[in-house]
Structure 1
Amino acid sequence: MAETKGKLLRTTVILCILFPLAVKAQNTIDENHVVVLNQEYDIILKWRIAGDDIFFEMSAKTYGYVAIGFSPNGGMPGSDIVAGWVKNDVTFLSAYHATKFAKPDIDLSNDYELLYGFEEGNKTTIGFSRKLQTCDTNDYTITSDTSRIIWAVNDNDPPNSGDLLYHGTARGVRSVILLDAATKLNELPNDANSFELLVSNVSVPNDDTTYWCTSFAVPKFEKPVHLFRFDTIIQKGHEALVHHMVLVGCRGNVSSITGWSNICDRDKFMQCTEILYAWAIGAGTFEFPEHVGLLLGGENDPNLFFIETHYDNPGHRPDFVDNSGFRIHYTPTLRQYDADIWFLGEAFIGMGQMIPPNEPDFKTHGICFGDCTKVGIGEDIKVFAAFLHGHLAARKINVQHYRDGKLIHEIRDDHYDFNLQETRLLTKERIFKQGDEFVVTCSYNTMGRTNITFGGEGTTDEMCVAFLYYYPRQPKLYNCLSSPSETSFINILGLHKDNM
Structure 2
Amino acid sequence: MLIRAVIFIFVLASLRRVSSKFPPTQQYPYQQELDHGGHATLYWNYDDTYITMELHIKSMGWIGLGISPTGTMKGADIYVGWVKDGKGIITDRHGVGNEFPPLDKVQNIELLLAKEGDGGWTVLKFRRTIDTCIEDDLQITRNAMWIIYAWGIEDPVENKLRPADIHIAKGKRSINLLGHLNVEKSAFPQGEQHATLRATIGRITVPAEEESFICRLVPLPDVTEKHHIVKMEPVVSPGNEKIARNIVINQCAHPLPIGAKMNTSGKCYTFNAPVDYDVCAKPLSMWDQRDFGEAIRFPSEVGFPFGGAEDPKYLLLEIRYNNPDKFAGKL
TM-score, normalised to structure 1, is 0.39
Q: Is the 8 A contact 2:144 2:286 kept in 1?
A: no
> What is aligned with 2:300?
430
Give the C-alpha shift of residue 430 in structure 1.
Answer: 3.4
The Cα of 1:165 is off from its aligned counterpart by 4.6
Q: Name the counterpart of 2:206.
A: 202
Q: Structure 1 pair 245/174, CA: closer, same or farther in 2 (3 Å)?
A: closer
Matches for 1:83-482 after TM superposition, within 5 Å: 83-121=80-118, 122-159=120-157, 160-163=159-162, 165-181=164-180, 202-204=206-208, 210-211=214-215, 233-235=241-243, 242=245, 244=247, 266=263, 393=279, 416-417=282-283, 421-422=286-287, 425-426=296-297, 430=300, 440=306, 462=314
Shift of 1:100: 2.4
CA offsets, 1:413-470, max 9 Å, x none?
xxx327x54476348x6399xxxx996458579xxxxxxxxx6xxxxxx269xxxxxx
- Once the two structures are TM-superposed, the CA of residue 120 in structure 1 deviates from its matched residue by 3.2
1:200–1:131 CA distance, 2 compared to 1 (3 A): same
- Which of 29, 42, 59 aligns to 1:62? It is 59
Give secondary structure in 2 for the equivalent of 1:167. coil
Give the unaligned 5+ runs of structure 2. 1-21, 184-202, 217-232, 250-260, 288-293, 317-331
2:173 partner amino acid:
R
User: Which letter maps to 1:244?
Assistant: I
Whole-Å separation in 2 of the counterparts to 1:76 and 1:59? 20
**TM-aligned CA distance change 1:444 to 1:110, over 3 Å:** farther
Alignment partners' CA distance in 2, 1:202 and 1:228:
20
Q: Verify: 1:79 aligned to 2:76, yes or no.
A: yes
Structure 2 distance, partners of 1:36, 1:438, is 28
- Partner Cα distance (1:110, 1:204) in 2: 46
Cα distance in structure 2, aligned partners of 1:45 and 1:59: 6
Residue 76 of structure 1: CA displacement? 1.3
Q: Deviations over 1:31-57 (max 9, x none)?
A: 2x2111113361111111111210101
CA 165–117 in structure 1, closer or farther in 2 if over 3 Å, else same: farther
- Give the share of equivalent positions with the same residue, in percent: 21
Q: C-alpha offsets along residues 369-426 of structure 1, whole Å, 9 cap, x if unaligned?
A: xxxxxxxxxxxxxxxxxxxxxx97467xxxxxxxxxxxxxxxxxxxx327x5447634
Partner of 2:32: 35
2:300 match: secondary structure: strand
Measured in 2, the distance between the counterparts of 1:171 and 1:142 equals: 21
Distance in 2 (alpha carbons) for counterparts of 1:200 and 1:38: 23
Q: Distance in 2 between matches of 1:163 and 1:265?
A: 44
Q: Distance in 2 between matches of 1:75 and 1:141?
A: 16
Kept in 1, the 8 Å contact 2:43–2:54? The answer is yes
Deviates more, 1:59-68 or 1:166-175: 166-175
Aligned residue pair count = 233
Counterpart of 1:53 in structure 2 is 50
Q: 1:45, 1:394 → 2: CA distance?
A: 24
Alpha-carbon distance in 2 for matches of 1:126, 1:93:
8
Higher strand share: 1
Work out whether residues 392 and 417 of structure 1, in 8 Å CA contact, stay in contact via their aligned partners in 2: no
User: In 1, are the aligned partners of 2:246 and 2:286 still within 8 Å (CA)?
Assistant: no
Work out whether residues 158 and 164 of structure 1, in 8 Å CA contact, stay in contact via their aligned partners in 2: no
Question: Contact 1:181–1:424 (CA<8 Å) still a contact in 2?
Answer: no
Contact 1:146 1:176 in 2 (8 A): yes
> Whose helix fraction is larger, Structure 1's or Structure 2's?
1
Q: Is the 8 A contact 1:394 1:443 kept in 2?
A: no
**Structure 2: how far apart are the matches of 1:393 and 1:313?**
12
Q: Measure how far apart 1:139 and its partner are.
A: 0.3
* Structure 1 unaligned residues grouped into runs of 5+: 1-13, 23-29, 185-198, 213-226, 247-263, 268-307, 317-390, 396-415, 446-454, 456-461, 465-500
Kept in 1, the 8 Å contact 2:94–2:103? The answer is yes
CA distance in 2, matches of 1:171, 1:55: 22
One-letter amino acid of the counterpart of residue 425, structure 1: I
Give, in angstroms, the shift of residue 78 of structure 1.
1.6
Structure 2 letter corresponding to 1:178? L
Structure 1: distance between partners of 2:135 and 2:170: 25
How far off is 1:71 after superposition? 1.5
User: Are the structure 2 counterparts of residues 439 and 172 from structure 1 closer, same or farther at C-alpha, using a change threshold of 3 Å?
Assistant: closer
Shift of 1:66: 1.0
| 165 and 131 in structure 1: CA distance in 2 versus 1, 3 angstrom threshold | farther
Q: Is the Cα contact below 8 Å between 1:97 and 1:106 reproduced in 2?
A: yes
Q: Distance in 2 between matches of 1:172 and 1:75?
A: 9
Q: Which has the higher contact order (CA 8 A, sep 6+)?
A: 2
Distance in 2 separating the partners of 1:117 and 1:266:
46
TM-score by length of 2: 0.56
Whole-Å Cα distance in 2 between the matches of residues 87 and 442 of structure 1? 54
Root-mean-square deviation (CA, aligned residues, Å) is 4.6
SS in 1 for 2:172: strand
CA radius of gyration, larger in = 1
